Amino acid sequence: MRAARLHGLGDLRIEEVAEPSGEVLVTVEAATACATDVKCLRHGHLILGPYPARFGHETVGVREDTGERVLVGDSVPCARCRFCDVGQTQLCERMTWVLGGFGQRIAAPAAALHAVADGLPAAGAAMAEPLAAAVHAVARAGVAACPDARAAVLGGGTMGLMLARLLVLAGCDVTLADRHEERRAQAQAFGARAVQRLDPAGHDLVMEAVGRPEGWRAAIDAAAPGAAVVLVGGCPSGSEVTLPAAPLHYAELDIRGAFHHTPGEVDRALALLAAGDVDWRALAGPTIGLDELHDALQRPSHGEARKLVVDPHR
Q: Which residues bind Zn ion (CB under 5 A)?
A: 34, 36, 77-78, 81, 84, 92, 130
DSSP assignment of 30-72, as one string?
Answer: EEE--HHHHHHHHH--TT--SSSEE---SEEEEETTT--EEEE
Closest CA to 291 of 14, 7, 11: 14
Closest CA to 187 of 161, 153, 206: 161
Closest CA to 189 of 307, 304, 270: 304
Decide whether 11 or 85 has the Cβ nearer to Zn ion.
85
The SS3 assignment for 189 reads: helix
Decide whether 81 or 201 has the Cβ nearer to Zn ion.
81
Closest distance between Zn ion and the C-beta of residue 93, in Å?
A: 5
Decide whether 165 or 203 has the Cβ nearer to Zn ion.
165
Question: Cα–chain-centroid distance for residue 158?
Answer: 8
DSSP assignment of 232-263, as one string?
Answer: -SPPPTT---PPPHHHHHHT--EEEE-----H
Closest distance between Zn ion and the C-beta of residue 92, in Å?
A: 3
Closest distance between Zn ion and the C-beta of residue 116, in Å?
A: 17
Closest distance between Zn ion and the C-beta of residue 91, in Å?
A: 8
Closest distance between Zn ion and the C-beta of residue 209, in Å?
A: 13
Decide whether 81 or 146 has the Cβ nearer to Zn ion.
81
Decide whether 54 or 203 has the Cβ nearer to Zn ion.
54
Closest distance between Zn ion and the C-beta of residue 211, in Å?
A: 12
Bridge pairing between strands 254-257 and 223-231: parallel
Decide whether 36 or 262 has the Cβ nearer to Zn ion.
36
Q: What is the DSSP letter of 295?
A: H
Decide whether 77 or 157 has the Cβ nearer to Zn ion.
77
Cβ neighbors of 310 (< 8 A, separation 6 or more) are 30, 31, 32, 33, 56, 101, 102, 287, 288, 289, 290, 293
Q: Rg of the chain's alpha carbons, rounded to an integer?
A: 19
Closest distance between Zn ion and the C-beta of residue 201, in Å?
A: 32
